[in-house]
Amino acid sequence: MAQDLTPVRDGIDKIDNTIVELLKERLSLAKTIGKLKNESKRAKWDPLRERQIYERLTKLNDGVFPKDALHSIFHEIITTCRLSQQKIAVSYLGPEATFTHLAGVKYFGHSATYSPMESIADVFSEVEKGRTQYGIVPVENSIEGAVFSTLDSFMKFRTKICGEVRMEITHNLVCKSGDIKDIQTVASHTQPLAQCREWLRKHLPTCPTLPVFSTGAAAQMAANNPNIGAIASSLAIKTYELQVVVKGIEDYRGNTTRFLVIGKESPTPSGADRTSLLLGIKERPGALNEILSVIARAGINLAKIESRPIKGKQWKYLFFLDLMGHIDDQHIKDCCTTLKALCSYFEWLGSYPVTEESSPDA
């Protein structure tokens, strides 16, 4: 005879009731803090406080409840509390269900309002014009490297970087029927097409590829045409009612994309931050070396350097640099003062908390 589960389920119901009551109480306290912050014109978002909460809870949990799950639960709770202090509108590279959309939801939770944009430049423009407070854009992939339209947009629009999201990317081949025999063309954004190049060559050697402006757009096309296969996210499968043909078709494991959250202001220090700079280097021998020496002498970890041609100025370049630390840290501030004097162009793009990697399906 089956055991009676009722008494144990009663115990779970009691706990769930307490959790809901406590969540309501927590939300009300966060709203009170929101009002106090309004009065003193303090930023609603406090990354340092949030980091401290996660660290305290991780210790308290002692590994009993799975660490990532605990983090996700509190991430949703804290973002919901933060959103109760101030409504947040986020633009992203659309349409719905792109990896950028997923990254946005990972970062801001489900309660924010999301608006899909047709291009990365449109996301920057929305934020610059103040139509959405934040935007989310891909900036680099561990296999394919930099996303040039994002870097180029930093040269064109006045925005600040507020945060980053690192997400392990799993590419799925999808189509309407779920049968590989129906696929005559494979559509996706150029980056996923490149990241799955070998797999496609081996398994669909005669199928042409069709680059489109996002994985979401490819999924949309596959939903409307049974002979189009798309390389898309797990969210796209649900959103566009597609069937999985093969999961995980990327050529290399550990395929991670870094996304940037852009807004009007960078947050205050969190204790583990990254500072992004855009520099123009004077045309003289050893100029780049001089810049790098300043950073090295200050004992600052240079996390990334990337150059991009300046549009309309032949053979002229700007450099994107990421330094570990926050602009409010004295040694970063001093280093930036020296760099400003040495460079033909200097722009602080933002300082923001470094985040851990997470999988889109986590």
Ligand X SMILES: O=C(O)C(=O)C[C@]1(C(=O)O)C=C[C@@H](O)C=C1
Query: Of these, 31, 49, 87, 131, which contacts ligand X (CB under 6 A)?
Result: 49
Residue number, 138 or 353, with CB nearest to ligand X:
353
Q: Total binding residues for ligand X by CB under 6 A?
A: 10
Interacting residues with ligand X between 63 and 82 (CB under 6 A):
78, 81-82
- Residue carrying structure tokens 């996002």: 214
Residue number, 50 or 126, with CB nearest to ligand X:
50
CB of 162 to ligand X, least distance (A): 12
Residue number, 161 or 281, with CB nearest to ligand X:
161
Strand 228-232 to 185-188 pairing: parallel
Please choose, out of 42-50, 107-115, 130-138, 232-240, the segment that lies near ligand X by the rule CB under 6 A: 42-50
Q: Does 273 sit near ligand X (CB under 6 A)? A: no
186 neighbors 209 (Cβ within 8 angstroms): yes
CB of 135 to ligand X, least distance (A): 19
Q: Does 33 sit near ligand X (CB under 6 A)? A: yes
**Pick from 197, 237, 200: nearest CA to 216:** 237
Residue number, 43 or 296, with CB nearest to ligand X:
43
Minimal CB distance to ligand X: which residue?
A: 81
The number of helix segments (H) and strand segments (E) in the chain equals 12, 16
Query: Of these, 46, 122, 128, 329, which contacts ligand X (CB under 6 A)?
Result: 46
How many Å apart are CA 236 and CA 361, to the nearest integer?
12
List the end-to-end C-alpha distance of the chain, in Å, as a whole number: 37
Q: Does 30 sit near ligand X (CB under 6 A)? A: yes
DSSP 215: H
Helix residue spans in 264-329 (DSSP H)? 287-297
How many Å apart are CA 279 and CA 3, to the nearest integer?
69
- Residue carrying structure tokens 């399906």: 361
Residue number, 82 or 176, with CB nearest to ligand X:
82
How many Å apart are CA 8 and CA 21, to the nearest integer?
20
CB of 80 to ligand X, least distance (A): 8
Query: Of these, 15, 45, 154, 194, which contacts ligand X (CB under 6 A)?
Result: 45
Residue number, 81 or 332, with CB nearest to ligand X:
81
Residue 231 CA: distances (Å) to CA of 28, 167, 241? 43, 17, 14
> Given the rule CB under 6 A, which residues bind ligand X?
30, 33, 45-46, 49-50, 53, 78, 81-82
